[in-house]
């Protein structure tokens, strides 16, 4: 009994602060302390400035041996692609006549690695974990965007060249990818970063998770959760249960343990990314369903992630 309580306490020490920050975001919005303008500006600040700064610094000042992480990164790439194919086929078979197939597919695989995933990893492993997780964020952000264009593009609506151009524009303008690739370049080439820049960057980096989580919580729309429950439950179960279960179990079979296995679990146990709503809306899809899936998975992820941590900790895997 004592072991179970210890494992539960460890799990809540990781998911609890994140859950509380999300709740504070909801409360602050309800009492008028946060408004829609704050959410828009705050989210933009996080995505374009503070989160890229945090990821860049986590790589530049890290003592992690990134050359030894090639297997970890390669597994993340393969697992992300295979799960996308699995989700794509599943949705095509189970929602044959639905006009929302692309939205459901994206909601089944696209994790919020940049905010919730990083927050989980930061709570569990600190700056060393964030540095390694940044590599995972880089490759999956690239893959997620390509997959989103594939599943959301209307049939016969665009040529291959137009689709490729959209993918390229989406990827080359992504601040997260730019910051991580820049960080890797500085790290590999041993380019020194002045202490004053690192100190100033740390001020920005420390803003990231509190501001991001507050904005995420404040942007939740619980009324949307009552709409289109079938597709939402399907996408939510794939994102919060099937994805972390299959990808983490696969990583275990391959031989990953400790921090690498933990990062793979946290990243894939994260809820659906807010960027999925932006992609759906920009490509003319069902934005209400996309927002519903985001809210649904964000609320339930605290529970499913806590359960997953308890199980992995019980078997001494993380």
| Angstrom distances, CA of residue 258 to CA of 4, 96, 209, 249, 266 | 19, 41, 23, 13, 12
- What does pLDDT average to over the chain? 87
Higher pLDDT pick, 85 / 185: 85
State the burial class of residue 28 (Cβ atoms within 10 Å of its Cβ: 0-12, 13-18, 19+). Answer: middle
Tokens read off for 191: 């380019």
Read off the pLDDT band of 264 (50, 70, 90).
very high
Average pLDDT estimate for 249-276: 93
- Sign, CA torsion 116/225/292/305: positive
Structure tokens at 139: 């490759």
Nearest one of 269, 255, 276 to 311, comparing CA atoms: 269
CB 99 within 8 A of CB 286: yes
Average pLDDT in the 278-298 region?
84
Number of C-alpha atoms within 13 angstroms, CB side, residue 148? 29
Q: Does the pLDDT value for residue 72 go beyond 70?
A: yes
- Count of Cβ atoms closer than 10 Å to residue 70 Cβ: 10
């Amino acid at each position: 009994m004592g072991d179970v309580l210890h494992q539960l306490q460890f799990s809540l020490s990781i998911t609890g602060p994140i859950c509380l920050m999300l709740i504070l975001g909801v409360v602050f919005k309800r009492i008028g302390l946060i408004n829609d303008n704050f959410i828009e500006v705050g989210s933009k600040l996080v995505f374009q400035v503070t989160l890229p700064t945090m990821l860049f610094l986590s790589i530049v000042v890290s003592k992690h041996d990134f050359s030894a992480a090639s297997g970890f990164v390669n597994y993340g790439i393969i697992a992300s692609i295979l799960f996308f194919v699995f989700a794509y086929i599943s949705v095509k078979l189970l929602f044959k006549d639905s006009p929302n197939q692309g939205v459901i597919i994206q909601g089944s695989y696209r994790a919020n690695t940049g905010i919730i995933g990083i927050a989980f990893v930061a709570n569990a492993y600190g700056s060393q974990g964030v540095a390694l997780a940044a590599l995972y964020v880089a490759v999956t952000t690239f893959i997620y965007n390509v997959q989103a264009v594939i599943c959301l593009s209307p049939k016969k609506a665009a040529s291959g060249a137009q689709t490729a151009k959209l993918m390229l524009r989406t990827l080359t303008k992504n601040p997260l990818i730019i910051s991580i690739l820049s960080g890797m370049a500085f790290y590999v080439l041993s380019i020194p970063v002045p202490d004053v820049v690192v100190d100033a960057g740390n001020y920005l980096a420390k803003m990231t998770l509190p501001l991001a989580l507050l904005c995420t919580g404040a942007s939740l729309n619980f009324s949307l959760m009552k709409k289109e429950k079938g597709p939402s439950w399907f996408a939510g179960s794939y994102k919060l249960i099937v994805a972390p279960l299959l990808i983490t179990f696969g990583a275990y079979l391959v031989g990953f343990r400790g921090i690498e296995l933990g990062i793979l679990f946290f990243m894939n146990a994260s809820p659906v990314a807010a960027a999925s709503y932006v992609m759906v809306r920009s490509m003319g899809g069902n934005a209400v369903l996309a927002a519903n899936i985001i809210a649904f998975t964000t609320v339930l992820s605290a529970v499913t992630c806590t359960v997953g941590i308890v199980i992995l900790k019980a078997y001494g895997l993380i």
